[in-house]
A and B are shown apart, each in its own frame.
Chain A
Amino acid sequence: MTTMVMNNKREMREKMTSSIAMVLTLVSLSMLFATLMLGYVAYRFTSDVWPPLGMERAALELPTLSTVIILVSSLTYYFTETSFLSQKLKQFKVFFSLTFLLGVGFMISQMFLWKNLEATGIYVDTTVFGSIIYAFTWIHAAHVIGGIVALLFLIPSLTGKRDYLKGQIWVKNVGQYWHFLGIVWFILYFSIFIF
């Protein structure tokens, strides 16, 4: 009995260790995106007209679709986590699959976005306006791909091959990263597409 309590304590503390590391990682990534936003602010406010050179703004449909998808995926991830914590394995599997599909769906919506931008004459090398849209969404998308790969690391928890406490660590940390990507996308959506 006592050894089990001690083991629990040890696991809980290991959990805390990786949480600290995850927070540090997110601080690092925030600085990356903050720097991009700094660049955006500098270009935006030194320009008399925006978008420059009489360019058209990007159509809002696809970015809005992406926003909805990533928002819903954050929600389904939230339910993935709660169902895992209350040990409802079936729900956990359903919500996990939904999150995964929505993640892939987000990437597909991004590809359509890039195609559509090209079709409406916004190229990566025409003015800094186009450069910003493409480069920032690329960098974000690269992190989403990382997020989808991170989701795959939860599969051992789905099949019951990983012990429960270890699984908690994984579910919590991947979740933080996933929600972080949602927040970043929302900031990008608001600043470079709407504002």
Chain B
Amino acid sequence: MAFYEQHIHPKPTTFLSKYVFSFDHKVIAKQFLWYGIFFLLVGGLMALMIRWTLAYPGQPFPVIGHFLFPTSNGAVPPDTYAMLFTMHGTIMIFYAITPILIGAFGNFCIPLMLGARDMAFPLLNMLSYHVAVISGALLLGSLFVPLGAAAGGWTSYPTLSTLIGSPGVGQTLWTLAIFVLGVSSTMGAVNYITTIITLRAPGMGYFDMPLTVWGLGLTAILNAIFLPVLGAGCLLLIFDRVFGTTFFLAGAAATTGTGDPVLFQHVFWIFGHPEVYILILPAWGIVSDLLSFFARKPAFGAKATALSMTSITILSTLVYGHHMFTTQMSPLLTQTFMTLTMTISIPSAIFFANWLGTIWKGSIRFHSPMLFSLGVVFVFGLGGLTGLYLGTVTTDLYLHDTYFVVGHFHYTMAASVLLGGFAGTYFWMPKMFGTIMNEFWAKIHFWITMLGLNGVFFAMMLVGYGGMHRRIFNPFIYEFTQKLIPLNTFATWSAIVMGFAQIIFVVNFVHAVFFKKEKASDNPWEVGTLEWTIPSPAPHYNFKEIPVVKCGPHELGNPNLSNGRDYQYQTEELA
């Protein structure tokens, strides 16, 4: 259904036009990938510092502690602890997951899987990356200002985030950085949606698109609609901090004429709940495709999967109140939000069952992308189920703001998205860089990561159930939490193991990108979507001839295959 055929851009020749100011969606994807991996490491290091403090409060952080915290003899000081968990959350959500899943895979997969030569607006695409770089610089800069970085939590609720709670310039820079990143992501979202509507190859209907593109497209829709909501909140917060407006100053509006801190929470979560789906939808899409590709079976109920992802997208806009049950919300409202939240279980259950249906009796090939995808199925199942306790008012009143919440959202957002991101990286590596990563070390990486992250996040849920609250520098000053120290130590060591396992990935990745001589074949995984019909790595123009699509993306093991393989390309016709 392509609206028009794009011209072939001339091949870039200079270093700047090739690697820095490139219009090529594949180069921009790689830029986002490196950007995301860099911030993943920064955020991961912060996570280790947080965990270390919870297991061994007051003891110096190993190796680099004395260099980073000279005033407190190498241990993390209390105010720095607050900055660490704030920046850890912010970096992981906005600067690691978003660039990798949406920036890198969105840019890389959408045109290639649709049979297009580039995004609809290449210049906008390039600007979107450079605006993201500005935002990253603002955020990193905020770590080094007087009074330190933002420390109000990744949610930055007033009054923690107004001048009363954080007088330093760090919080202002944080808010500005998030606003700028929002602009970048909105630019990307507009581009993705337009590309999906206008540049699908001839013959490709919406249901012929791979589910990866479905996930990325729905994410883009949520981004375009809800990032501006956060943007408005950030702007008002910046005005409060810089120009002295009184939007979020505490005080009753009628008597003192000042603002309402809870309003920011509403605005934040109107954006924030769709945001968790913004993060997870691309991973769902990737996993839905990969399960089918490596089970050598058509994706079970692919249409139903796509439609249930769509209904989750719609429902996700209606449930934000479940983050605010403890803000003295009217019980009528809490019940409404609870019911709407529970409704999300229905489409989730549908596509989860479809995942299981896809691997049921499949001829599964346990390559590394498949292992990671199966990992997503496991951790997302666990994360989704624990969400029910938090969406229910009665249980949430107890569990709210405990480590149970932290464990839950790490299972859904961190674990699922991380594993989904790794699955995508291992899978598209040949098309991105022309080489395959070492399978043996990929599998080692998977198992250590999987064990490590379950150790951390399950222990988090357990200590949360035991009553340990989030965001407290030393929770063990309370007697009832002292029994939880061994579990916390276990979580910390799991985190350290998981952290070290990522070195395997980095070495494997860097080796494959820069040093590996052996080139990958055009279609090493034997799948039929359009990106595998072209050479590896993809040439700068993607498709010499725009392909004509004749069948769906998952015709694996179909009895009507026409060519003697167990799969066929989307450009081939079924017998």
Q: Are A124 and B226 in contact, with the CB atoms below 8 A?
A: no
A21-B190 in contact given A28-B227, A126-B257 (Cβ < 8 Å): yes
Count of chain A residues with a beta carbon within 8 Å of a chain B beta carbon: 43
CB < 8 Å neighbour of A43 from B5, B231, B259, B270: B259
> By the criterion CB–CB under 8 Å, are B193 and A36 in contact?
no
Instruction: Report which of A9, A24, A34, A52 forms a contact with B194, defined as CB distance below 8 A.
Output: A24
| A-contacting residues, B175-219, CB 8 Å | 186, 189-191, 193-194, 197-198
Contact check, A24 vs B190: say whether CB atoms are below 8 A apart.
yes
Residue B236 at the chain A interface, CB threshold 8 Å: yes
Contact A128 B246 (CB under 8 A): yes
Q: Which residues of B contact A33 (CB under 8 A)?
A: 232
**Residue numbers in B under 8 Å from A35 (CB-CB):** 228-229, 232-233, 267, 270
> How far in angstroms is the closest Cβ of chain B from A31?
4
CA distance A43 to B253 in the complex (A): 7
B366 at interface, CB cutoff 8 A: no
Instruction: Check B224–A24 contact: CB distance below 8 A.
Output: yes
The reply to whether A10 and B194 form a contact with Cβ atoms under 8 Å apart is: no
**One of A65-73, A131-139, A155-163 at the interface:** A131-139
Q: How far is the CA of A25 from the CA of B186 in the complex (A)?
A: 8
Query: CB within 8 A of B258: which of A14, A17, A28, A127?
Result: A127
Hey, which chain B residues are within 8 Å of A9, CB to CB? 4
Q: Which of A16, A20, A24, A125 has the largest count of B CB atoms less than 10 A from its CB?
A: A24
B231 touches A39 (CB 8 A): no
B interface, size bucket: 35 or more
Shortest beta-carbon distance, A102 to chain B, in Å? Answer: 26
Nearest residue (CB) in A for B236 is A135
CA distance A17 to B121 in the complex (A): 9
Q: Are B3 and A17 in contact, with the CB atoms below 8 A?
A: yes
Q: B246 — which chain A residues lie within 8 A by C-beta?
A: 125, 127-128, 131
A24 to B198 Cα, complex, angstroms: 14
- In the complex the two chains form, what is the Cα distance from A49 to B246 in whole Å? 17
Is residue B101 within 8 Å, beta carbon to beta carbon, of the partner chain? no
Closest Cβ–Cβ distance, residue B214 to chain A (whole Å): 18
B257 contacts A32, CB within 8 Å?
Answer: no
Instruction: State the Cβ distance, B552 to closest chain A Cβ, in Å.
Output: 25
Whole-angstrom distance between the alpha carbons of A13 and B200 in the complex? Answer: 13
> Which residues does chain A contribute within 8 Å of B225, judged by CB atoms?
27-28, 31
Residues of A within 8 A of B127 (CB): none
A53 contacts B by Cβ under 8 Å:
yes
In the bound complex, residues from chain A placing their C-beta under 8 Å from that of B245 are 124-125, 128, 130-131, 134-135
Cβ contact within 8 Å between B194 and A21: yes
CA distance A27 to B189 in the complex (A): 12
CB of A47 within 8 A of chain B? yes
Contact B253 A31 (CB under 8 A): no
Query: Nearest chain-B residue to A19 (Cβ)?
Result: B194
* Docked pose: A37 CA to B246 CA in angstroms: 16
**B15 interface residue (CB < 8 Å to A):** no
Known: A43-B259, A125-B245, A129-B257. A21 touches B227 (CB 8 A): no
How far is A17 from B197 in the complex, measured between Cα atoms in Å? 8
Are the CB atoms of B260 and A42 closer together than 8 Å?
A: yes
| B254/A20 in contact, CB under 8 A | no
Closest to B239 in A: A135
CA distance A35 to B267 in the complex (A): 7
CB-defined contacts of A47 to chain B, threshold 8 Å: 253-254
Are B267 and A128 in contact, CB atoms less than 8 angstroms apart?
no
Q: Does B120 interact with chain A (Cβ within 8 Å)?
A: yes
Is A38 a contact of B4 with CB atoms below 8 Å? no
Nearest CB of chain A from residue B260's CB, rounded to whole Å: 7
Question: B165 — which chain A residues lie within 8 A by C-beta?
Answer: none
Say yes or no for A61: interface residue by CB 8 A criterion: no
The 3 A-B residue pairs with the shortest CB-CB distance in the complex, in nearest-first order: A127-B257, A131-B245, A125-B244
Query: What would 29 A/B residue contacts be, using CB atoms closer than 8 Å?
Result: A9-B4, A10-B4, A10-B5, A16-B198, A17-B3, A17-B120, A21-B121, A21-B190, A21-B194, A27-B224, A28-B186, A28-B224, A29-B228, A31-B226, A32-B228, A35-B270, A38-B266, A42-B266, A46-B253, A46-B260, A47-B253, A53-B257, A125-B246, A127-B246, A128-B257, A130-B245, A131-B239, A131-B247, A135-B245
Q: Which B residues fall within an 8 A CB radius of A?
A: 3-5, 120-121, 186, 189-191, 193-194, 197-198, 224-229, 231-233, 235-236, 239, 243-247, 253-254, 256-260, 263, 266-267, 270
